[in-house]
Amino acid sequence: MTTNVPAVDVHGAAAEARPKNFINWSSGFMSWAGTLDHKRIGLMYLVGVSIAFLCGGLFALLVRLHLWEPNGALFSNAQYNQIFTLHGAFMVFIFVIPAIPGSLGNIILPLMLGAKDVALPRLNLLSFYLWLTGAVLATLAIVLGGFDTGWTFYTPYSLYTNQAVVTIGLAVFVLGFSSIFTGLNFIVTTHKLRAPGMTWFRMPLFVWALYATSLLQVLATPVLGITVLLVAFERLYHIGIFDPRLGGDPVLFEHFFWFYSHPAVYIMVLPAFGIISELVSVHSRKPLFGYKLIAFSSLAIAIISFLVWGHHMFTSGQSTYAMFAFSFLTFFVAIPTAIKEFSWVATVWKGSIALNSPMLYTLAFLVIFAIGGLTGVILGALNVDIHLHDTYFVVAHFHYVMMGSIALAFFAGVHHWWPKMFGVIYNETLAKIACGIIFIGFNTTFIPQFIMGSRGMPRRYATYVPEYAPFHQASTIGVIILAVGIALMVYYLVASLFQRKKAMENQWGGVTLEWLAPTPPPLENFNEPPVVTNEVYDYSTLDLQTMRTPVK
């Protein structure tokens, strides 16, 4: 750590002049609604997906409160079916899939690459409006009678149930194209808009993760698009291909659906991995252990994820030999995933760890994701899965990944880049307390679900036998704790915008390019286009007094 090569070469001293930033350089409704700036679009996404998350969370709270009593405390069974479907559909399609790429990805990816914007800014805005249209359509579907199919829309039930399935199908189709366009944009941006000197192996791992995600978005989502379109046609004019009354095959739907929806799991989780990779390095002030391994493992996960969809269908009557293959291939996903987990832990090890709130969220992620990942291997084992299929064990497993890992990584990223995005810093003490409450609440919610699932409690039911009541009640108490933690988090984050406690230019001592841009960044991000001369995550030139890397 003795080199004194400047991390980034910025010509001239214009960095001192403070022009207006991207938030205040223009004002008025149209300057936001019609903006082509990636940071403003990202900010609109951030607001949007946060509202979607709070809606989805509210539905979850209602579901859990209902399950306090074995016969259901609040709703009729039909209402319960609609509410848990809403929870799933909002969380999966409107929150988790677009959350990290749409908000943090949009804002940070061009900054990390040293670009002025994403390559296709108009497409970026279109992607946001498609997201908005999808969210509105989904809300409209509630008004039009609701839908009770679960977020998976399994045929034949989705063909026979009430009318709003076409509306929600359309919503999913539109949201799918929003996701495709974001991915497409990031691929082009990564290929074409890297700053001079930013080679592929100097790219931060958040960029690598978003790149792998984008490949999945572009290659898997169209299949979901045509699948929901076919379900809509099936309802409108009875094609018959999914309808057993008309000679169709409902299992074909499952194949189509999971061909998308298993890779979709990685569309959701890879960006989270990317955030964690950044944060373990910055807050341990240590280059990432196994940088290339992490980069390639993202691509490996992307490729393997196309070959394992059948593990969702172990009880659907597919051929036994196919099940062997799908189970076997599923285990392979564990390898690149474990490489990441080990690399993160090895990065933290002997690092100069700063227990800032983003780091606390990151450490919480590392614990929760280890549990979420390992229970996935248990479920991938064919014989065990026959027992656990469609029980709360599965629910707990994917919530450890979706909520415990992805949402926590999203929170970690929001906390990490908050000072860069807004130029203000939140109340750090409250942030640490909220992180603790969320961690405790989350585990209290889902550990009982593992136990009752392994004892046979089936998922999705509105009522249950009284033997499961203690587990359900513990889980409901957990979700209330979780809700308190999240409410606290929302409070201090929003409050920080009004208290305006100024953040440092480089709050945590990061050395990726976004920390070199002014805080908050101006319209075209950098006062002078950066030229990269240093390896990625090289902290040797960071001045700990000023948190700046030297500039020419």
Partner 1 sequence: MSHDGHHSVVIPAPGPEFQAHTVAHHFDTPVQEFQSAKLGFWLFLATEILLFGGLFAAYFYFHEVYPETFRLGGQQLSWKLGALNTSVLLLSSWTMAMGVRCAQTSQKSKLLMYCGLTVLGAAIFMVIKFIEYKAKNDHGLVVFSELFSPYNEATGQLAWFKDYHNAMVDKAGVPLPHGHLFFAIYLTMTAIHGLHVVIGAGLILWVMKGAAKGRFHAGYYLPVDLVGLYWHLVDLIWIFLFPLLYLVP
CA distance 153 to 157: 8
Write the binding mask 179 to 218 for Cu ion: x where contact by CB under 5 A, - elsewhere: ----------------------------------------
Identify the residue among 6, 145, 250, 529 touching partner 1 (CB under 8 A). 529
Give the 3-state secondary structure of residue 543. strand
49 binds, among partner 1, Cu ion, none (CB under 5 to 8 A by kind): none
Q: Is 262 in the site for Cu ion (CB under 5 A)?
A: yes
At closest approach, how far in Å is the CB of 380 from Cu ion?
Answer: 8
Scored b (16 or more CB within 10 A) or e, 487-497 reads ebbeebbeebe
At closest approach, how far in Å is the CB of 248 from Cu ion?
Answer: 24
At closest approach, how far in Å is the CB of 174 from partner 1?
Answer: 14
Scored b (16 or more CB within 10 A) or e, 512-546 reads bbbbbbbbbbbbebbbeebbbebbbbbbebbeeee
**CB of 67 or CB of 187, closer to partner 1:** 187
At closest approach, how far in Å is the CB of 212 from partner 1?
Answer: 15
CA distance 261 to 265: 6
CB 481 within 8 A of CB 437: yes
**CB of 80 or CB of 186, closer to partner 1:** 186
From residue 43, give the alpha-carbon distance in Å to each of 50, 77, 113, 137, 494: 11, 38, 19, 22, 14
Rounded to 5 degrees, what are φ and ψ at 181?
-70, -35
**CB of 322 or CB of 494, closer to partner 1:** 322
Identify the residue among 227, 277, 356, 549 touching partner 1 (CB under 8 A). 227
DSSP 91-153: IIIIIIHHIIIIIIIHHHHHHHHT-SS-S-HHHHHHHHHHHHHHHHHHHHHHHTT---STTTT
Q: Is 353 in the site for partner 1 (CB under 8 A)?
A: no
User: Which range of residues in 96-104, 220-228, 352-360, 372-380 is near partner 1 by CB under 8 A?
Assistant: 220-228
At closest approach, how far in Å is the CB of 422 from partner 1?
Answer: 23
User: Residues for the chain: how many in total?
Assistant: 552
239 binds, among Cu ion, partner 1, none (CB under 5 to 8 A by kind): partner 1
Contacts of 95 (CB under 8 A, 6+ apart): 49, 52, 53, 56
In 3-state terms, the chain is what percent helix, strand and coil (to 5)? 70, 0, 30
Binders of partner 1 among residues 173 to 202 (CB under 8 A) are 180, 184-185, 187-189, 191-193
Q: Is 465 exposed, middle or buried (0-12, 13-18, 19+ CB in 10 A)?
A: exposed
Dihedral angle of Cα 457, 462, 464, 469, to the nearest 10 degrees: 90
**Tokens representing 542?**
């960071």
Binders of partner 1 among residues 122 to 151 (CB under 8 A) are 123
Contacts of 426 (CB under 8 A, 6+ apart): 357, 415, 418, 492, 493, 495, 496
Write the binding mask 375 to 404 for Cu ion: x where contact by CB under 5 A, - elsewhere: ------------------------------
User: Which range of residues in 275-283, 451-459, 468-476, 522-530 is near partner 1 by CB under 8 A?
Assistant: 522-530
User: Which range of residues in 24-32, 117-125, 149-157, 297-305 is near partner 1 by CB under 8 A?
Assistant: 117-125
User: Which range of residues in 24-32, 229-237, 316-324, 343-351 is near partner 1 by CB under 8 A?
Assistant: 229-237
Identify the residue among 116, 389, 432, 460 touching partner 1 (CB under 8 A). 116
Identify the residue among 13, 47, 76, 238 touching partner 1 (CB under 8 A). 238
Binders of partner 1 among residues 310 to 329 (CB under 8 A) are none
Q: Is 119 in the site for partner 1 (CB under 8 A)?
A: yes
Q: Is 20 in the site for partner 1 (CB under 8 A)?
A: no
CA distance 271 to 42: 15
Residue ranges in contact with partner 1 by CB under 8 A? 115-117, 119-121, 123, 180, 184-185, 187-189, 191-193, 218-219, 221-223, 225-227, 230, 233, 236-241, 245-249, 252, 256, 524, 528-529
Residue ranges in contact with Cu ion by CB under 5 A? 262
